[in-house]
């Protein structure tokens, strides 16, 4: 890679204005999960202008491009997600969302733009490129069951040796890249509980089975699973996020509906939690003469980075950026459907810092005023191009 390494910054500099422009266009024209028709067409049309790419549309709202290099090597897949969120944007910059109630509040516009820039550079360097690179422009990361599994089922990883992906990460300051082997992002599961009591007049509680009082105990006691039944060194989050009951101040309702999420890394703990939860619900409702329904839905698998891929990725990024830039990524209990790729082939997901307190870029992901420092975009492009040469190179 020595020839490319000596000129890589020049290639990145030449494409950065396009990357910023693409990101801003996508930010202004967001589309929700499974609805990314205009976004996918924009990506397809842009890729058509690069040359040397073999394009396909595995699903209605996704795009895959293949680039076969001029030198022997492996097959690397690089993924970017394209969907936006149902959030009304509160930013006031010129390229804010033009779609009411929809915005790119998680950085997917930047992911797509960075991968377009990567495809542009690598298509120009085809003769020097080892092996094959597959660019996966994925739909529907934000909405379960997600677009990644659909692409895997469509065969986009057939013959692939490794897969990588970037998330622009607001908690990490711009200028840093976070890499980690092992657990990086959690499995985001959900649950629904209905407490079934007996309604009646609020002045005669003794004639009712108070679903609210029972439901409140359910919420409180579910927290004991994390604090008293799981090793405190084993990460687990159990959050109740909705509690719906009642219609009037003088009526005790007969039912309470409770929903929430469970986040975990360890697969066997993930299997244990539903039984622990139902035991709590069953015990409390039974003790008070109530009944219940309980359902638990598994979301995406946890993002578990392959140690060998992570080690090689870290090494090449240190060579490209320096030791001070590449840091240990901090695991998060957020979820990501990139895990669907990792369950098929070895892969690593990593963070590129996009936060900048000096510029007021401090809002969290999924916030109406979320944005990224665009200085992160060329870093992501350089990281992808560096990885394409380093990970595909035959030893």
Catalytic residue list: 83, 141
Query: In this structure, what token pair is assigned to residue 389?
Result: 């040469």
Residue that the structure tokens 């975990």 belong to:
264
Q: Report the Cα–Cα distance between both ends of the chain, in Å, rounded.
A: 12
91 backbone dihedrals φ, ψ, rounded to 5°? -75, 160
- Residue 99 is classified by DSSP as S
Angle at 120 between CA 54 and CA 164, to 5 degrees: 80
Furthest C-alpha separation in the chain: 83
For 216-256, give the secondary structure using H, E and C: HHHHHHHHHHHHHCCCCCCCEEEEEEEEECCCCCCEECCEE
Residue that the structure tokens 């407490």 belong to:
195
How long, in residues, is the chain?
395
Helices 376-392 and 307-321 sit at what angle, rounded to 10 degrees?
Answer: 120
* C-alpha span between 137 and 334 (Å, rounded): 21
* C-alpha span between 264 and 271 (Å, rounded): 10
In sequence order, the β-bridge partners of residue 392 are none
- Residue 274 is classified by DSSP as H
Would you state the torsion angle of the CA atoms of residues 126, 128, 132, 137, taken in this order, to the nearest 10 degrees?
-50
């Amino acid at each position: 890679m020595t020839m490319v390494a000596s000129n890589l910054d020049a290639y990145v500099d030449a494409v950065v204005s396009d990357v910023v422009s693409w990101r801003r266009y996508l930010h202004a024209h967001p589309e929700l999960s499974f609805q990314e028709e205009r976004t996918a067409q924009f990506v397809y049309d842009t890729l058509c202008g690069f040359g040397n790419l073999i394009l396909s549309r595995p699903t209605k709202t996704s795009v895959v491009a293949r680039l076969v290099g001029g030198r022997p090597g492996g097959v690397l897949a690089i993924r970017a997600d394209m969907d936006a969120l149902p959030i009304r944007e509160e930013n006031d910059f010129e390229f804010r969302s033009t779609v009411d109630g929809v915005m790119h509040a998680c950085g997917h516009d930047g992911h797509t733009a960075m991968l377009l820039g990567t495809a542009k550079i690598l298509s120009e360097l085809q003769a020097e490129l080892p092996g094959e690179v597959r660019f996966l422009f994925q739909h529907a990361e934000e909405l379960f069951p997600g677009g990644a599994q659909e692409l895997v089922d469509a065969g986009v990883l057939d013959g692939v040796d490794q897969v990588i992906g970037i998330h622009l990460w607001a908690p990490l300051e711009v200028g840093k890249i976070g890499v980690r082997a092992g657990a990086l992002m959690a499995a985001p599961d959900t649950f629904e509980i209905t407490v079934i009591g007996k309604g009646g007049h609020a002045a005669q509680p003794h004639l009712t089975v108070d679903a609210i009082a029972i439901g409140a105990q359910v919420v409180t006691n579910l927290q004991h699973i994390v604090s008293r039944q799981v090793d405190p060194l084993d990460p687990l989050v159990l959050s109740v996020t909705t509690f719906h009951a009642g219609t009037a101040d003088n009526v005790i309702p007969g039912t309470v509906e409770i929903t929430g999420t469970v986040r975990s890394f360890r697969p066997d703990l993930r299997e244990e939690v539903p039984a622990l939860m139902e035991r709590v619900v069953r015990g409390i409702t039974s003790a008070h003469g109530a009944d219940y329904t309980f359902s638990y839905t598994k979301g995406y698998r946890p993002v578990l980075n392959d140690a060998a891929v992570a080690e090689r990725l870290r090494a090449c990024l240190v060579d490209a950026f320096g030791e001070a830039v590449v840091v240990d990524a901090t695991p998060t209990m957020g979820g990501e459907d990139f895990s669907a790729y990792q369950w098929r082939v070895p892969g690593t997901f990593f963070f590129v810092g996009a936060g900048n307190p000096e510029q007021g870029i401090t809002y969290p992901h999924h916030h109406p005023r979320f944005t990224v420092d665009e200085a992160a975009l060329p870093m992501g492009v350089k990281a992808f191009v560096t990885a394409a040469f380093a990970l595909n190179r035959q030893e």
